[in-house]
Amino acid sequence: MFNFRLKRIIKLGIKSLWMHRLRSTLTALGIIFGVSSVIAMLAIGEGASREAQEKIAQMGSRNIIVKTVSPPEDDTQGGQTQMLKEYGLTYADADRFQNGIPNVQVIVPNRRLLREAYYRNRKASIEVVGTVPWYPEISQVRVQRGRFLTATDLHYKQGVCVVDEGVVRKMFAFDDPLGQDIKIGGDYYRIVGVSTEQAAASTSKGMNARDASGATKAAGANAGAIYIPLNTVKDRFGETRLQGDSSNAFAMEKVELEEIIVQVRNIDQVMGTRQTVQTLMTRFHKKNDYQIIVPLELMQQARDFQRIFTIVLGSIAAISLLVGGIGIMNIMMATVSERTQEIGIRRALGAKKRDIVVQFLSETLLLTLSGGVLGIFLGCLIPFLVSTYGEMRTVITTESLVLAFGISTAVGIIFGLYPAMRAANMDPIESLRHE
């Protein structure tokens, strides 16, 4: 009985919606756009957030990264810049971290320079990382072929290097890079290993601040990186160079280390250790020539930001659905008053109030449900297009689909009920007389 009724109710609803095709479509559009914008916005938001979280996670959640930054110019010399500007992290800092901070698992001091590299007739601008053998422990970089740098390499300042896949792509189209020599700044380095690429976020900031000297830097990690023993870099590249960003062409600068990465044993120790690092740094650095980056902290900030973002998106979406709902209610009120006589006729012929409520409510629900379904399609299509053509990551979650569809249905019921009740409660005689 119920099924049979339901089928006819739906039929009746579709029929009268079909009779006012244009009006029905326009009304449903409100819901379609509401639902699809909810889904699309949440998908874009979610994609951005995951991307950020992953990037930060690649920087290492147990790491505290201290970077050298060029200090703001002080005018104590009366506008005349020093000929040699000395700043940044030092080996002494690394020792202090090693000896003065409990909970430290490993410390990695790094040089990071941007240099031209040559292999046969090829030339590329790549990042030279002067580092220690345990660098892979604190990063995402993994050796794929050959080996990483060893303690011996470090100790004897060997002219060896490990290149990452970015460099391989750029410079070794067909040759096997292992065992080849690559030339940087007049010296040759024997390639002993090939590694994966480093996470973009771990370098970009410090690099931009420090390495204005080099040629225009390619975006992020795609520049490719070459790992050379720290002591070798110190020896062969030195620590002084021309100051690139100065008006004085002869100004020099001296930097010992571009970066020190401290990794603690346990994730709960991160914030405490950050404090200790900060204290040590402020004690020994008068100039503001360093920056402390804590990926864990960034991750929490990203999460907080994501929560706010979701709330804002949710509110915008809720408002757009509300507007859609008001549109539907408006149309249904008009429909009811336009069909007053029909309601009177149906009541005189035996329709109960409930029948009238069901009739009008089912029309509203048909509108919102079909609007919801189309909205889901459109809402999935938009993020798809954004990912395909916009090179932006999007993630459609089931929750967002359920949420959007649920809200649109609820809107249908809430805004459809009042017009339907109003239709049902009209006096049959008066509505019959209505022309």
Partner 1 sequence: MIQSQEPQGFEKDTAILAMHGLCKSYYLGGEELRVLRDINLTITSGEYVAIMGPSGSGKSTLLNLIGCLDRPTQGDYLLGGQSVLTLDDDQLSMIRGERIGFVFQSFKLIAQLNVVENIEIPMYYQGVSEDASARRARELATLVGLGDRMRHRPYELSGGQQQRVSIARALANDPLIILADEPTGNLDSTSGADILAILDRLHGEGKTLIVVTHDEQIATNAERIIHLFDGRIAKEEFNRK
Q: How far is CA 238 from CA 94, 182, 278, in A?
A: 18, 19, 28
Q: Choose, by CB under 8 A, the member of 351, 395, 413, 417 that binds partner 1.
A: 351
Considering only the stretches 158-166, 271-279, 290-298, 346-354, report the one whose residues sit in contact with partner 1 under the rule CB under 8 A.
Answer: 346-354
346 binds partner 1 (CB under 8 A): yes
120 binds partner 1 (CB under 8 A): no
Dig out the tokens for 233 from the structure.
């870099």
Considering only the stretches 90-98, 130-138, 155-163, 345-353, report the one whose residues sit in contact with partner 1 under the rule CB under 8 A.
Answer: 345-353
Q: Choose, by CB under 8 A, the member of 80, 186, 354, 389 that binds partner 1.
A: 354
Q: Considering the complex, state which of residue 285 and residue 434 has its C-beta at the smaller distance from partner 1.
A: 434
23 binds partner 1 (CB under 8 A): no
Q: Choose, by CB under 8 A, the member of 21, 78, 350, 391 that binds partner 1.
A: 350
22 binds partner 1 (CB under 8 A): no
- Please provide the distance, in angstroms rounded to a whole number, between the alpha carbons at the two ends of the chain: 35
Identify whether the C-beta of residue 368 lies closer than 8 Å to the C-beta of residue 328.
Answer: yes
Q: Choose, by CB under 8 A, the member of 172, 347, 407, 419 that binds partner 1.
A: 347
DSSP letters along 115-169, please? Answer: EEEEETTEEEEEEEEEE-TTHHHHSS--EEEE----HHHHHTT--EEEEEHHHHH
230 CB-contact burial (10 Å; exposed 0-12 / middle 13-18 / buried 19+): buried
User: Which is nearest to 423 in space by CA: 341, 329, 343, 328?
Assistant: 343
Q: Considering the complex, state which of residue 397 and residue 425 has its C-beta at the smaller distance from partner 1.
A: 425
Min dist. Cβ of residue 364 to partner 1 (A): 18
Amino acid in position 137:
E
Q: Choose, by CB under 8 A, the member of 116, 304, 352, 381 that binds partner 1.
A: 352
Phi, psi of 252, deg, nearest 5: -115, 160
Phi, psi of 240, deg, nearest 5: -110, 150
19 binds partner 1 (CB under 8 A): yes
Q: How far is CA 154 from CA 43, 48, 64, 221, 232, in A?
A: 48, 40, 23, 24, 7
Considering only the stretches 144-152, 173-181, 294-302, 351-359, report the one whose residues sit in contact with partner 1 under the rule CB under 8 A.
Answer: 351-359
How many residues contact partner 1, by CB under 8 A?
24
Considering only the stretches 156-164, 166-174, 348-356, 361-369, report the one whose residues sit in contact with partner 1 under the rule CB under 8 A.
Answer: 348-356
Q: Choose, by CB under 8 A, the member of 8, 123, 142, 190 that binds partner 1.
A: 8
Q: Considering the complex, state which of residue 18 and residue 174 has its C-beta at the smaller distance from partner 1.
A: 18
Distance, CA of 136 to CA of 255 (rounded, Å):
24
Min dist. Cβ of residue 12 to partner 1 (A): 8
Which residues have a Cβ under 8 Å from the Cβ of 14 and sit 6 or more positions away?
366
According to DSSP, the residues that pair with 64 across neighbouring strands are: 262
Considering only the stretches 12-20, 211-219, 272-280, 307-315, report the one whose residues sit in contact with partner 1 under the rule CB under 8 A.
Answer: 12-20
Q: Considering the complex, state which of residue 57 and residue 351 has its C-beta at the smaller distance from partner 1.
A: 351
6 binds partner 1 (CB under 8 A): no
Q: Choose, by CB under 8 A, the member of 57, 355, 373, 409 that binds partner 1.
A: 355
21 binds partner 1 (CB under 8 A): no
Task: For CA atoms 88, 91, 96, 97, give the dihedral sign.
Answer: positive
Q: Considering the complex, state which of residue 39 and residue 361 has its C-beta at the smaller distance from partner 1.
A: 361
4 binds partner 1 (CB under 8 A): yes
Q: Choose, by CB under 8 A, the member of 239, 353, 377, 387 that binds partner 1.
A: 353
349 binds partner 1 (CB under 8 A): yes
Task: For CA atoms 362, 367, 371, 373, give the dihedral sign.
Answer: positive
Phi, psi of 188, deg, nearest 5: -105, 145
According to DSSP, the residues that pair with 242 across neighbouring strands are: 252
Buried/exposed code over 157-184 (b: 16+ C-beta within 10 A; e: otherwise):
bbbbbbbbebbbebbbeeeebeebebeb
Q: Considering the complex, state which of residue 223 and residue 358 has its C-beta at the smaller distance from partner 1.
A: 358
Distance, CA of 232 to CA of 226 (rounded, Å):
13
Dmax over CA atoms of the chain, in Å, equals 106
Q: Considering the complex, state which of residue 157 and residue 353 has its C-beta at the smaller distance from partner 1.
A: 353
Min dist. Cβ of residue 363 to partner 1 (A): 13
Q: Considering the complex, state which of residue 242 and residue 429 has its C-beta at the smaller distance from partner 1.
A: 429
Q: Considering the complex, state which of residue 5 and residue 190 has its C-beta at the smaller distance from partner 1.
A: 5
Min dist. Cβ of residue 416 to partner 1 (A): 20
Helix axes 353-390, 295-338, angle to 10 degrees: 140
Task: Summarize as ranges the residues that interact with partner 1 (CB under 8 A).
Answer: 1, 4-5, 8, 15-16, 19, 341-342, 344-355, 428-429, 432
